[in-house]
Amino acid sequence: MTEPTGYEDEPREVFTPVTAQSYAALYHLELSDFKADFRFYQALLQQFEARFILECGCGTGRIQRFLHEYNFSSVGIDISSPMLQKAATQGGTHLVAMDMCSLGFCNQFDAVIIPYNTLNLLTDEKTIARCLSEIYTVLKSDGVLLLQLYTPDRQLRENPFQRFFQFSMKDIDDGGKLITESIKQFDPEKKISLLEQRYKIRYPGKPEQNVNQVINHELAAFSPSEWFEIINTSGYHVSSCYRDYELNTHGFETDGPLLFAATPSS
């Protein structure tokens, strides 16, 4: 018999699904000041002497803003109109509503960036390969593709189908606090991670202004070696692989962000 905790009568939190508009606003609140990954992109762009950059899945323009600040010429694409509307307020960027699986550019780029696990949102290997093939057509022969990919960590891999909880908290400009809760579950049969992302905004003494919203994602959850194979069989040569933003390797199968630099193979 389970011992009583004293919280049995507490009301359960209720979350409403995000709208496209509210998700853009919450996403921007969560990540707009995150810059650690840009140091990785900046270092590799300088190494490859890349000046004209395409960013696929630019979201609300975070990396576009940094590219502009460091005098790169760039274009950002996204399929979300609310994300692009928010990005347009950042200034100094060229933005296009476009699907990275169906690019419509006539010109070619020195580098293409697919940041922050964006490619993982394509959960089918054939769709991922089609996306990489599209990017191949707009990447110069001496250009570079830069990727950050999600891979399930050891805890998820060793406990398939179990749900694991993480959260972060940050102050926001209007005096509230943004609490982001992530619940992940790994399905090794489908090679997918289920991500439930909960956004809570809390205003001390003003409960009527509180926000509870949720969005669910499916993420491609391939291993590092599987991602390596997918990229290498899609017309690219993986020139380097890193496990943190400081360009350290740490071992291919360790936990952490999976960062690839890949060049066209022919």
CATH number at residue 37: 3.40.50.150
- The pLDDT of residue 116 is 97
Q: What is the model's pLDDT at position 145?
A: 99
Q: Are residues 76 and 192 in the same domain?
A: no
- 56 shares a domain with 134: yes
Q: Tell whether 178 and 67 lie within a shared domain.
A: no
Q: What is the pLDDT of residues 91-136, one digit of tens each?
A: 767 999 999 999 999 999 999 999 999 999 999 999 999 999 999 9
Contact by Cβ (8 Å): 132, 101: no
189 in the same domain as 67: no
Instruction: Give the range of the structural domain holding residue 208, as residue numbers without chain letter.
Output: 153-220
CA dist 145 and 41 (Å) reads 10
Same domain for 49 and 144? yes
First to last CA, the chain: 66
Q: What angle do CA 128, 126, 140 make, to 5 degrees?
A: 45
Specify the CATH number for the domain of residue 201.
Answer: 2.20.130.10
Number of independent structural domains in the chain: 2
Same-domain status, 48 and 139 = yes
Would you state the pLDDT for residue 249? 76
163-171 and 94-97 as β-strands: parallel, antiparallel, unpaired?
Answer: unpaired
| CA 176 – CA 52 distance, rounded (Å) | 38
Candidates 114, 94, 96, 100; CA nearest to 40 is 114
Is residue 46 located within the same domain as residue 130?
yes
1, part of any domain = no
Same domain, residue pair 94 and 144: yes
- The pLDDT assigned to 256 comes to 79
Domain identity same for 186 and 245 = no
Low-confidence ranges of the chain (pLDDT < 70): 1-11, 92, 250-254
Q: Domain check: are 25 and 125 in the same one?
A: yes
pTM here is 0.93
For 80-91, give the DSSP string: -HHHHHHHHTT-
Residue 51 is predicted with a pLDDT of 98
Q: What is the pLDDT, as a whole number, of residue 10? A: 45
Same domain? For 135 and 252 the reply is yes
CA distances from 139 to 89, 207, 247, 264 (A): 28, 50, 23, 8
Q: Which of 186, 202, 220 lies at the terminal end of a domain, its last residue?
A: 220
The two beta strands, 52-56 and 73-78, are parallel
Q: Where are the beta strands (DSSP E) in the chain?
A: 16-17, 52-56, 73-78, 94-97, 109-114, 139-149, 163-171, 177-187, 192-202, 211-220, 236-242, 258-264
239 and 142 housed in the same domain: yes
